[in-house]
Structure 1
Amino acid sequence: MTTLADILRGIEGGVFPTPDLSISVVPAPSERELCVAAFTAHIVIAADVSPSWVAGLIPDGDLSAPLNPPFLHALEGLTGRRVNAIDQLLLAPAIADPAQRRAATEGLVELTERGHPRIERAWRYRDDVRAYLDPYGGLVLTGRGVAGRLEVALEVPEASREKGHGRRLALAARALIPPDAHIWAQVSPGNAASTRTFLAADYKPVGAEALLTRS
């Protein structure tokens, strides 16, 4: 049986779901979350629901309905989850060259304490979280999130914004993961500044996602 992890690993390798205007229903990736993911002309619903239930709510060929409130509300009611966010998905490969990896992570200091609120929040949604502080007070976090994918989160202090520090942290994330890996960013569609930051660090838009969680 195809899983969400299989689909995401395929996308990391450049193989996307077939753009055939269809909907794939696959098992929920974990007890922690389920999701509805939209790719070019293909929707993936990763939840423990029946395809017939999905088909009864979504007209054939309507690929906007799965990310619209009526369907998401019905999915919330059926699963006992709530929509945590609807984000665009961006993806980038690791920086593999050793010299570039050293340059991208220069000045970062790993934080081992979990007291920072952004770190605590990351642990609610990810495993294997690692956090690094830069000399300007910025924070870059990596961890394993949906279906075990590597994810990045950034925090740039207000005084350090509009100076390229966000782009530097986004690049650093690509050097903090194994050289053969990929890393995902989830960005609110309305957060134009974050979108520009990740695009400048060579992350590519690959889809959108509604994440449903228990809390």
Structure 2
Amino acid sequence: MTKLELVINCKIDVLWEEDIYKSTVQDIKDEEILIAIPVSNGIYLTLEDGEKLEQIFYDDKGNVFGYKSEVLGRTTENNIPFYRIGKPFEITRIQRRNYVRVNILQVINYIKEEELEKEIREEEKYQHALLLDLSGGGMRIKIKEELSYNDIIVANLIHDNEKITVRGKIVRIEKTEDKKYICGIDFDDMDNVTREKIIRTVFRIMRKQRELI
């Protein structure tokens, strides 16, 4: 059984419609948890009793947990409003080597790191690639040029007007019938902030895809 250990003051992400709201755990009781009113870009989330919340929690060991909770109501303590939510259920633990991966078709820009000159930023230096799938640990892209194993590339991912720059190592190469190349890339030397942005993006894409079914 997956064990989720929420603690007081830990940060959580609340997935709602097409946005991600920030919140924190304020108290943990026997049958319920108090969380701060989730907020995104200054907008507070309004919830009804009985609604199910999808949430993401990052622990201090590098693990990512996805889970759901039921909204039990609102309460106020010391003149501060909180939501009361039930204990987590449908808990999924996503380890670093087993990130959730989502299929997506999107044109992105990339450049080999050895060709990247820090003081020059012309976009024409970048090549186009077709992003095929994405996870917190890596991605697959389809490209025209032939790269080599262990080549390092720098790519710009854009989703919902948010630009995320990633650095990755080529770990798999497959030549296609149309004389192009599908490359498997493991993200390399990535900070936690960037990885969390990618994981949030993956969850956003998954939610949108589910809504289309």
Query: TM-score over 0.5 for the alignment?
Result: no
TM-score of the aligned structures, taking structure 1 as reference length: 0.30
Q: Which has the larger radius of gyration?
A: 2
Q: Which has the higher contact order (CA 8 A, sep 6+)?
A: 1
TM-score of the aligned structures, taking structure 2 as reference length: 0.30
